[in-house]
Structures are given as structure tokens and as C-alpha cells.
Structure 1
């Protein structure tokens, strides 16, 4: 029973739920019923508004009577409701004056509308006159139930809107007539119709009035064609019908049923129309529904179009969907983008147009029609279509020829000019384009970038550096015409290719595989006669590869090696070690005269420095050198110096430049290098600047960058350690953040704000030498303050956060038994570090730019033999020529702008011979200019890589960009409480650059310093002091003190308290607002 009771309960619940659902559904249906009944009621009100207005008529109303006896006239009558309540009186005339003034009469919409149309005219001696234009009034009365005739008020009149059109009608004897039709009613009184607008046409018998605006085009047609001119005889029937479609697009045209044929299906095939453009072609996809029908846009417009056949119009049914699908498929076959705005029209220019026409030529099933002269595209021309002649010129080869295809003779020079601009196809004339096969295109492109700067209409010049590219092109030509000089060059190329990778006999060195390949590459270029740049990473053995080629060329004549002073002795040792058969001399140990040069012969090698090569240039120019080697060739990256000029004037059969960093800051350095070893390769400086340097450095032009890389690629060899030395121990980079003390921060911020105040006078965008000098001096001052305040203020006695961090790091390294190289850009910084280390009893070695050449090698040998825990080296002086593999740690005390320079220094330890992992520490002061410099390291790619491997690069920073570094030099915006610095610190002059030792009086047995003496140094110091006096005066004016007082403070006197807070706060706000 309990189970049954439970089952009943469940059944009852289910039934109750079902009833509830049914009740809810009935309620919903009732609501829907109520909704549709209300909607129908609203629809009745919309369809018959007059019904509601009649049921709610007021006691009086305005009705309208149309008079036609003396011309069309609309009159107003006032009617009142009869006392019986049934209907209205006959009414009496209502003046327009009362109509516009008695608003109580505006009981209907048309009453208000017509009252607003009444115009008032004041006439002299006749009073005020009120008028109502009947044509416009009838437009307001369309559909009104309160309109009747003036002569028969009992007859209601229906005012209907109509339009004026043309109607094609049959006429006797097979003629056709274009009759005027107004609302389907023939109209012949066209003169009157043309004069009135809107048009009103009473139909008395039908109690109707047709009213409407006349179509302007119809009126124009009726004016030009009177009734007799609109009748066309049977002979003109077909000609008339051919024009009716065009007429129907301009004016409304009615075609009666007896002049129409049954409907038929239209054609849906999509074709193309092409229109030539000044530099391309316009392509449009169209469909032609049938013969005699104009082309239409696929899938657009009406789904029916008309065609006239035998005097009758046939309607063609279009399949718009099929048309659109056909157009889409054709677009995809042609590789065109989706049409914009649904229009099937594309405009293509230049290379894109040629590619499109080439694809179209391959689609033989696609119909096309040219709307103008046809643009022709040749078949791809191959090597077999090239006719070439190589002629002999004084210092060049002349290249002449034609590309002959499809009966076209295209001059080769025109082809090369187009390819030089980066184009793939050659425009022959306004209607013809030449295409090239990929193989011929690539070969000619290699030639195009190497031709001289001024090709004529028929000939282009090529230098010796273009010989491999030209030889590759000539290899497959059927019948080239060659001069004898080219035959000799080609033979030299073939001979060079036969040189094996084996090192020359007599070389006492076990070359690594990459060194064997490098030496063989150099020997092949020397056999060919082209200069080379060996740009391997530091420590990969560029010297031994150069010695190998010098040994191979020993029989050709004497060799001259130009190297920094500090490397002269190293070259002599290396030559004696690896090539003992060569006779080696140091120029500084000879008589240094012309006789010494002329006494040299095969197997002799003379070593000199860059300074002596310039100073004794007359003697060096007296000889003829079989080989010229320039070590650390970046020393002459400025082609305008006297040293560079002297080296270029040397008479040599072959030239080799060795440089681990052929490009450090600008592409002009690369041009200077090749100007030295291969003068014709990159052209004049102006040509190089216009074609490569400016587009690449300013605009990041990837095309020109790739072209430049391709141009120099055969003559530059660069390998990195990661590529060739898998056995080299890893190198780890560690960044050590250093926090400045509050006092150090105060001085740093004071100097930064003082610099910004000075820069307010500079013109934005100005990059002149003097403002740039001022900005660079400020940057140097900030960099020094980030290292050690003592570099700026000689009275500073509170130490340095960075020095303390370094000493802690030194203790860690010393405790683990490690030895390290310590680099800094500032020699005074190194001296402060050296003094601090001496106080702790730490043994150090020291080397900078003033260290004599002999002592440099002595210091290197001592360190390699275990002497000294730390080797302190200035960054520029220690970047080359040092092998210090006994160190496994490298410390950079301060960052330098170009990371390549730091990498050079690091490579003193991380190079061939290193057996231990190398760790590099970089000490960086937080929230200072040093962080901004490291950010540049991350964003600025090595410019050398951009040319040698195609990576991105960054050009020289502008003055504005340098000021930006000072303004936002890595630190957060300081507050006024953090920034006030002593006035003396604000006014301190920027430090003078370290003065290099002046060149000694050169004697027969004495050589100058390593770096070339810059005679402008003293001028720069004087200019710096002059600008400081000016800034000192400006600072005094800002602080409200005299210049004498400010100078006294600089000399050590303590300044009185000044109200600097307001000035600092204003400057901080200005900085923040412009951020």
C-alpha cells in the first residue's frame, strides 16, 4: 500500500506539472491573441487614417474644390456640422487670409499644409493679396477625402500621385512611337506640360487628378523631340530598338506587352576587360548576358536585362549567384585580392601588372578584351636569348649586347639599369614588358650591381671585381664576343680556382680546417688580383692565415705589413715562428730611407706602423710591393685622414685588410676599408652615400642592405667563434647592479639637471659640431659620476659605490684562485682602482695607450707566466694584439657605446688557447646613463653584421637622441627633495679629455706613439673652456649670484644656502610634461 501510495503521489505530481504547463501555454497563446488583435487595429489605423479622422470630425472643417474652367485653381470652403448632427452644410468660401490666421481651422493635416503654402503679396493701391499655387497644393491633397470639383461639389475627386514617362507604342504601317505618358495616361499637350512643375492633369470623366513632379530628363527629351519627331517608321525600327536600352537608363520608359518576347536565361560566363594605364593595367571582371547586351558586373544589378530582337524586347534572366561564383573562381586563378566594396575591378602597376598579365597568358580558356592598346608581356627570356660582347677599355671592361625574344631587341644596358633599381621585369616601351628566366635574372642582377655609375645607352663598364659574376654569365652563352684582355683575366680566374686548400710549403703551423679554407681563399683572391678583407672574430688566427698567403706569394716580390706600433714586434715573432724562410725587418730598426726600400726583393717582408707609413710615405711610395697587409685596418676607417691617403697611394699588386670589426659605427668605415684594398668596388664616396649609406642607415632599406652584402660578399670572409670553434670553452655574461649612495645620487642628478638647463638653448634637430660637443661632454661627465665622483671632483674623499662593489668581487675571485682582466674606458678610473688594490696588497699589472710597444709585450708575457692577480687595461689600448688566456674572468668597470669594442677586449681571454670557461662581469650603476647604454647594446645590432650577414643595424645617434639619454637616462623621475645639489656641483665644468702625449720629434731611429696625433685636441680644449665660461655665466644668472662668486665656490668655497627647490621643481615638471 505504501508503494502504491507513493506511486499515486508521483502520478499526481506529474499530472499537476502537465496541467501547469498547459495552463501556461494557454495563457501565452491568449497573450499572443491579444497582441495580434491590437496589431491589426493599429494596422487599420495606418491604412485608413481618414476613417479615424472622420469619426472624430469637429463641428467645422475645411474642404477643397478644384476649378478647371479658367485654368487650374484650388479653393477653400468652410463647412459646419448640421444641427441634426448628420453631415455638414454645403459650405461657404474661405479666404486664404482667414485660413492662415485662424489656426482653429487647421483640423486636418492638409489644412495646415496648404495654409503654410499661402503666399502674401502687398500691391500698391490694391492692398494685400493672398495666393496659393494649385500644383503644389494638389501635392498636399494626394489621398485626401475632402476634395471635389468647383462646378460639381457633390462629385468627390481622387488626387493621385503620378510621374511623367515615355511609352513605346505601335503606330500605323509598322512604325513605333515614343509617346508621353503621365500616370499611364497619354499626354500630347507637351508644351504646357513642359512649362509647369509639378504637373497636374485633371481627368474630369474619371473624377481624378494626376499630380507629380516631372522627371527632368523626360522634360528635356520632350523639349527636344516634338510629337512628330517621336515617330519612327518601320525602316528605323531595328535601329530604334538598339537604342532603347540606353534610353531606358536615362528616362522612365514603358514597354507594352505586345512589344515584348518571352523571358530566356542569360549567359553567366565571366570574362575580362583590360585597360592600359600609364604604368600598369586595369582589369575588370564582367559578364555579357547575351548578344547585343552591354557588359555588366558579375552578380550585381538587376536579375533581368533587356535585349531587342526583331522589334520586340526580350528579357534575359540572370543567375547572379553563378556569376559571382564564376568571378570569384577567376579571381583566385589570377591571384587577385578580394574586390573592395564589391567591385570586380583591380588596378595593378609595374611588376605586379606584368606578373598578372603573365598569369593571364597561361589561362587560354579565359575570354578577354582590351579597351585600348594591348600591353604585351614577353615569354621568359633565357641565356640562349642573350647576345653579348666584352670589349677592352683602359681600366674597365665594356659590356654590350641585346636580349632578343619574340622579335624584340632589348639593349642589355636597359636590362641592367632596370635590375639595378631592384626591378624584376624590364619595360621596353609603353606597351611591352620583357620577362627573364630566373637563372638569367639572377646572373644579370649580380652584374647590374657591379656596373659603373655612368652607363651609356649601349654600353656598361665593369671592373676587375666583377670578373667572377661575368665569367658565370659567359659560361653558358652560345657565342659571346670576347676581347683578349678578358681571356687573360678568365685564365687567371681558372688558375685561382685550381689552388688547393693545402697550406704552402714552408709554413710551420698546423692550421685548423677553417684556417686552411681562409688561407686558400686569400691565395685565390691574390692570384686573381683582387683585394680582400679577412674579418674573422678576434682570436681565430687572422695573422697566421695572412702569413700563409705571404709565404705563398714570396716569389712575387717584397711584402709590406702595416700594423699598430704595439703589434710590430708580434708580427716579427709570428713570421719568424711560422715562416722562417722569409726575411723580416722592422722599419723603425732600419735606416728608414728609399735605399732600404729599393733593396728589398722576393722573400722580404717589411713591418711598419701606421704613423711611420704616413710620415715616411715618400720612401714607401718609391717601392713596388707584391703584397700589402694592413693589420687592425679599422685604424684607417676615416678615409679623409692623411694616413689613409698615404696608404692608398702605395704601389701594390695585392692588398689585404685584417680587422675583427670592419664596421663599428657607420657604413662609411666599410667604404674606407674597400677604398684601401679594392678602390673600384664601392665607387666614389658620393655614390656609396646615395646608394647605400643613406638608405640603409636612415631608412633601414633592406633591399639596398642585401645588395651591398651581395656586392662585398666575394671579398670579405668573416667567421665567428661560435661557428668554427666548438671546442672553445663557454662564455658567461653576468651583470652586477650597483646602487649609488644618496650623496652620489645627489651629485649625479644635479649634473644631469644642469646639463638639461644648458640644452634648453639648443635648437631641436640641430646636429652641428659645437652643440654635439657640448652634449657629448655632458654625457662623459655623467658616465664618470656613475663610476667614481673623484673622476669629476678631485676633492672628493667619500669613495665610490662601484669601487666597493669591485673590491668585493675581487675578494670572491681571489678566494677561488681566479685571475682577471679589468677594463675601463677611463684611465683615471683604473688608477683609482689600482690605488685601492695597492692598499689591500693586491699585485696588479697595468697597461694603457701610453705604454710603450716593447713594454706591452713584456707585460703580456709576465701575466701569462703567472705574475699579477689582476691586469688593469684601458679599453681602447687593450682591444687588440693581446693574448691573455691565463685569465678566466673579465671585468668591465663601465659600459662603452659599441658592444663590439667590449667584445674585442673580452676576446683577449676568450680565444684560441683558452681551456677554462670565461665569465664576464659588467658593473652597472643603477638608474644612470649606464643602463641606457646597455639598452643600446640590446637594441643596436653590430653594424658589421648588417653588411656581412644581413642583420639589422643602427646608425650614429643624433644630438637629440643623445639629449634624450640624459633626460631619461635609465633612472625614474626624481623628486624635488632628491634633486637639490650644491651650486658648486651644478656649476662644475665638464672634465677635459685626457691629453695624449704629444708626438716627439721624429728621428731616424725613433717611432711615434700608437695613436695618430690629433692636432685639433688643443683647439677642442679651448672651445670646451670657452663654452664652460658661457654656461658658468648663465648658471650664475639663474642662481642670482655673480660669476666671480660662482668661480670662488668652484675653487673650494662653500656656497651659501640658495632657494633651489623652486627651480628644480619647475625643471622636473617640464621634464615630466614632455616625457
Structure 2
């Protein structure tokens, strides 16, 4: 067998020759035969083959209510059979199965079908389904519309919630933060029960170096109190660190029994090197960052070690691809106007001065990002540098010369004229979204806005429903609060007004329209990247993180990119990316 065999079959096989996912086996065999190979199985393979044949049987769930002509997709049925078998396992004190499914592959319906089947089999008395705050209503609707189970979402003041927790229901849909704020009530609710814990968008509570949040600590305590089955779900857990992937297998509340070992064990095995660097902020505070260098060859052995406890599915996997439309990502280079470049260079000069004094340039980096969007938003930032810029160069703090703003407004207007719909994302609410909202209104472009903190769940749901049901509404303008869980198969286009610093988030944004039930062809995502700017460096980091996720999870992360750019602003070339996102990372 020549050296090109494994690279040629990388979508199916790891570098060690193991099948990435057993549910891909049938497709692999078909492609091998069509390429002139004759597959031969050794006797040692028989148990795995028999298990594969059992998992691939169609799962029919009594009480699951799907529209006429619809049934669970084969990969959904396969994953549920595998997870339900793990629920009977004695290899874990609290059985855990990680649905590492790509966005849009139907994790909500998997949650509903799985809970219904476990109730049917008498394995659970209660299901607690965690998700993000903005997604609770939609997830509750999925349970109530597609199963015979009674699902509730407990809201209101503390006394109202206490009363609702005492009601009768099969499924509680809630957000992770409730574990901390309603710990006593939830403890009473789950006491003595067999509980299925569904953790949708579980990346919300996993951690690598950071301390566990109060929500995570409380959730771990609750899980330990019960006879638990744990189903974390997400496509986006690696982000910038394989340690995040490891922590996913501690979500059964028993981190010391993690199948990938302790954090120290994991680092000793998979890390090539790490080093810390200290910085001083403009206000004199000291902080440090840690830079990790991972052994990619060793990372590729992780998937085989967790194969019994997880299943990875991506839309371009051969058994899945026919169920989805392709989405093209078109990189749109933005040439900054001379007027905006003037203020951008002022910030670069300040960063150079701070670097020479061994200080942190994080505030400068934030401001560079803001200027790429439009200098006007600097007036809403409260850091000292923004205030100085607004005072010294007031005529530059405007959207009048913003090339990106002009391209955006023209493109949305053109999409509206063609009677299509578009989702537009920005990372910054106060410092971009509200400004875009102002100029969209001036243009008379019908749109709704959606964001996180400060917008109620009812307002969020109203924006979603109006966009879906009102043909005159062209644009759903959202912060990254809209990047998870929302389903907009009515839209053909996505615009990334700014580059997310996470590849996972880029995929999450795109997949708001690229769903299992999408019916529109020609789906297109436009990624705005300002030339000769910090955005070029962030885009380069996205591609590095994509490769890291592939190695850790044993999947091929597909991103079909047209007109790509591989440039990098010379000013940022020597700065470790960890410094770009440290301390003020959430703002970058």
C-alpha cells in the first residue's frame, strides 16, 4: 500500500488507519470497491461490525410526532442507538455520551426523540434540558410539538419560579445559569429521580485553564445528586484548545474519572510546550497569557480513545451530505478609506509606543477592530484611548467615510430588491449593531435587530418571528447571541460584518441558514475583511483553529471558501494571537 493511501482517504480514516466514525463504514466500503479495492475483514473486527449493524437499524420511537413522510435521519438514529446503549453501561458512574454533531444536523429533535425513548424504556423519571437563554422557547416547542412529553420553561420572579418547579412536567427546559440561582429548587426537583441531563451548546460551560463558572459548579453538584445520564451536545467545543474537548467528558460531574485523564495527564501526553508572558495594562494592572503548542500527531489518537462515548457528524460526511445544501463563503476584501486609515494609523502608533514600554496593547487592538467597522462607534467606547481619539480627532469619528458601512448597506439593499432575506452578524452590540441599525433606518431598509444582554426573551422571539413571517423584512441583524440554535431556512444569505476570532463561531453563524430542512439553493456567506488590518490576522487564526479542531476531534471541518485572502498586516505579524485575545479577549 503506497504512502498516498491514507491521505487520499482522509475523510474516512485517521493517520493511524482507523475509521474516523463507524457510521461512515458503509460509505467507505462502497468507495473502496468503486476504486478497485477489495475490503477484507479480520476476525477481530466481528464485534465492531455486529455493533455497527445494530446501531444502523432504524429507530422507531413511540410518541415521537414528526410530519407525515418524515422520520429520523439515519445518522440521528445511529447516534441515539449508540447513546442509549451507553446509558446502560457500567463503565461510567454517570453514563455520558457526547453528540459532537455539526450545526443544523438536528440536535433539538435528537434531544426530543432521545428523551421520549428513555421515558418509553422506563430508564428516566425526568429530563432537564439546558440551552442558551435565547433558545429555551424554541427547544421547549420542539419537545411539546414532537413528543408526548410535557415540557416547561420556568421563568418569572423567584417566588413564581419556586411555584412552577413544584408543578407536574416531564421535561424542564432551562438555561445553565439557573443551576446557580435556583440551586435549592432544582435540588429538590431532581432528588431521588433518574434524570437525563441534556446539555445543548455545552461549550457554554466547558473550560480549559479558566476556573469553572458558578453555573458549572452548581450543575456538577446537581448531577452528582441523581442517578444521571448525561448528553452534552455541540459542534464547537475545541475552539482554541484541545483541553476544552477533554473537559466535555467531565460534564457528568466526575472530572477525576475523565476518560482522557486529568488536565495534567492530558498536557503531559499531548503538549509539546507552553510558556507564559506577562503584560501591564495602560492603568498599571498586570496579567499574563499562556501560549500552548500541541503535538498534532498525538492529538490524532484522541478520537479512538473516546469512540465509545461520542459520535461526530459533519454535513459533508458522505451519508449526511445529500441532506444539506452547500454554502459558499465569499471573502469580501474591504479597502479602508484614507480618512479612516488616518485614525487607524494613530492607534497603531499608540500601540507601538506601549509595546516599546512592555505594556499591553489590548485596548489598542480593540480600537483597531472598532475602526474597521466604522470609527463612529469609538464615541460609545469608554476606554481612555477612545476618549482621547474622540477629543483630538472629532471629525474622524464618523461613518461618513466608512467603506465597510457603504458596502454593507448597498448589499442589503440589493438583496431586498431581489426579494431575498439575509442574516447579518456583528460581534459588537453597542459598538456596531446599534450604529448599523441607525443607518439601515435612514435607508428605509426593513429589518429587525436581535442581541443578548438588554433584550428580553420575548423581544428576541418577536424579532425571530417577524423576520420569518413578514416578507417585507429583509434583514435579521444580530449580535453573536443569534449565532446558536436559531433556524432561518427562509434566508439565502449571511453577512459577517466583522470577522469572528473563532472558526467555530464562523461555522455557527453560517449554519443559521444551512439547516437540515433548508430548501433554498445558492446559499452564500459573505465575510468582510478589511485589508491591511487586524481582521486579516484574525482570519488567519480562524484557519489555524480549524486545523486544530480537525486533529482533536477526528473530523474533517469543511469550509468552502471562494476568493480567499492569506495576507497579514505587518504591524501584527509578530504578536502571538493569545495576546490579541487575552484580557480583552471577549471584545476582540
Q: Same fold (TM over 0.5)?
A: yes
How far is 1:598 from its partner?
7.5
Q: Quick one: which of 511, 519, 539 aligns to 2:72?
A: 511
Task: Note the residue ranges of structure 1 that are not aligned, 5 or more in a row.
Answer: 1-437, 443-471, 477-492, 763-770, 953-963, 972-992, 994-1015, 1022-1075
Deviations 1:971-1001 (A, max 9, x none): 9xxxxxxxxxxxxxxxxxxxxx9xxxxxxxx
Q: Separation in 2 of the partners of 1:941 and 1:817?
A: 34
Counterpart mapping for 1:273-284 below 5 A: none
Q: Separation in 2 of the partners of 1:786 and 1:594?
A: 47
CA contact (8 A) 1:705 1:950 kept: no
Whether 2:251 is the aligned partner of 1:676: answer yes
Q: Separation in 1 of the partners of 2:447 and 2:162?
A: 44
How far is 1:634 from its partner?
0.6
How far is 1:500 from its partner?
5.1
Match of 1:821 in 2: 423
Q: Quick one: which of 800, 812, 816 aligns to 2:414?
A: 812
Counterpart mapping for 1:609-648 below 5 A: 609-622=175-188, 623=191, 624-638=193-207, 640-648=212-220
Match of 1:532 in 2: 97
How far is 1:776 from its partner?
2.5
How far is 1:559 from its partner?
1.5
Q: Separation in 1 of the partners of 2:182 and 2:272?
A: 36
Q: Separation in 1 of the partners of 2:154 and 2:434?
A: 34
**Could you state the TM-score of these two structures normalised by the residue count of structure 1?**
0.40
CA contact (8 A) 1:787 1:894 kept: yes
Question: 1:654 is paired with a residue of what secondary structure?
Answer: strand
* Inter-CA distance 903–515: structure 2 relative to 1 (3 Å threshold): same
* Inter-CA distance 499–713: structure 2 relative to 1 (3 Å threshold): closer
How far is 1:811 from its partner?
3.3
CA contact (8 A) 2:98 2:311 kept: yes
How far is 1:844 from its partner?
0.9
CA contact (8 A) 1:931 1:970 kept: no
CA contact (8 A) 2:532 2:568 kept: no
Q: Separation in 1 of the partners of 2:135 and 2:478?
A: 16
Q: Separation in 2 of the partners of 1:938 and 1:673?
A: 23
How far is 1:940 from its partner?
3.7
How far is 1:727 from its partner?
4.2
Whether 2:448 is the aligned partner of 1:838: answer no
How well do the aligned residues superpose, as a CA RMSD in angstroms?
3.5
Q: Quick one: which of 541, 547, 555 aligns to 1:936?
A: 541
Match of 1:551 in 2: 116
How far is 1:595 from its partner?
8.6
CA contact (8 A) 1:597 1:619 kept: yes
Counterpart mapping for 1:433-582 below 5 A: 501-509=58-66, 510-528=71-89, 530-554=95-119, 555-556=122-123, 557-580=125-148, 582=149
Q: Separation in 2 of the partners of 1:813 and 1:585?
A: 39
Task: Note the residue ranges of structure 2 that are not aligned, 5 or more in a row.
Answer: 1-16, 19-42, 275-290, 380-389, 558-566, 575-581
Whether 2:298 is the aligned partner of 1:704: answer yes
Question: 2:251 is paired with a residue of what secondary structure?
Answer: helix
* Inter-CA distance 521–870: structure 2 relative to 1 (3 Å threshold): same
Q: Separation in 1 of the partners of 2:227 and 2:459?
A: 33
Q: Separation in 2 of the partners of 1:885 and 1:816?
A: 17
How far is 1:520 from its partner?
1.7
Q: Separation in 1 of the partners of 2:138 and 2:418?
A: 33
How far is 1:597 from its partner?
6.0
Match of 2:515 in 1: 911
Deviations 1:987-1019 (A, max 9, x none): xxxxxx9xxxxxxxxxxxxxxxxxxxxxx99xx
Greater displacement, 512-521 / 840-849: 512-521
Q: Separation in 2 of the partners of 1:695 and 1:705?
A: 14
Whether 2:446 is the aligned partner of 1:873: answer no
Deviations 1:303-354 (A, max 9, x none): xxxxxxxxxxxxxxxxxxxxxxxxxxxxxxxxxxxxxxxxxxxxxxxxxxxx
Question: 2:420 is paired with a residue of what secondary structure?
Answer: coil
Whether 2:368 is the aligned partner of 1:782: answer yes
Q: Separation in 2 of the partners of 1:869 and 1:598?
A: 43
Match of 2:27 in 1: none
Match of 1:100 in 2: none
CA contact (8 A) 1:533 1:656 kept: yes
How far is 1:691 from its partner?
2.4
Deviations 1:1017-1043 (A, max 9, x none): 9xx99xxxxxxxxxxxxxxxxxxxxxx
Q: Quick one: which of 523, 547, 550 aligns to 1:945?
A: 550
Q: Quick one: which of 651, 658, 670 aligns to 2:233?
A: 658
CA contact (8 A) 1:625 1:653 kept: yes
How far is 1:654 from its partner?
0.7
* Inter-CA distance 939–804: structure 2 relative to 1 (3 Å threshold): same
Q: Separation in 2 of the partners of 1:514 and 1:497?
A: 13
How far is 1:548 from its partner?
1.3
How far is 1:837 from its partner?
1.6
CA contact (8 A) 2:503 2:543 kept: no
Deviations 1:333-380 (A, max 9, x none): xxxxxxxxxxxxxxxxxxxxxxxxxxxxxxxxxxxxxxxxxxxxxxxx
Q: Separation in 1 of the partners of 2:103 and 2:65?
A: 22
Question: 1:885 is paired with a residue of what secondary structure?
Answer: coil
Whether 2:268 is the aligned partner of 1:690: answer yes
Deviations 1:189-244 (A, max 9, x none): xxxxxxxxxxxxxxxxxxxxxxxxxxxxxxxxxxxxxxxxxxxxxxxxxxxxxxxx
* Inter-CA distance 852–591: structure 2 relative to 1 (3 Å threshold): same
* Inter-CA distance 859–595: structure 2 relative to 1 (3 Å threshold): closer
Q: Separation in 2 of the partners of 1:594 and 1:806?
A: 47
Match of 1:255 in 2: none
Q: Separation in 1 of the partners of 2:415 and 2:165?
A: 51
**Could you state the TM-score of these two structures normalised by the residue count of structure 2?**
0.72
How far is 1:699 from its partner?
4.4
Q: Quick one: which of 129, 151, 167 aligns to 1:584?
A: 151
Counterpart mapping for 1:758-797 below 5 A: 758-762=354-358, 774-793=360-379, 795=394, 796-797=397-398
Q: Separation in 2 of the partners of 1:744 and 1:579?
A: 55
How far is 1:591 from its partner?
5.8
Q: Separation in 2 of the partners of 1:595 and 1:846?
A: 34
CA contact (8 A) 2:314 2:555 kept: no
Structure with the bigger RCO (C-alpha within 8 Å, sep 6+) is 2
Question: 2:424 is paired with a residue of what secondary structure?
Answer: strand
CA contact (8 A) 2:129 2:172 kept: yes
Q: Separation in 1 of the partners of 2:513 and 2:177?
A: 28
How far is 1:966 from its partner?
6.9
Aligned residues: 466
Match of 2:502 in 1: 898
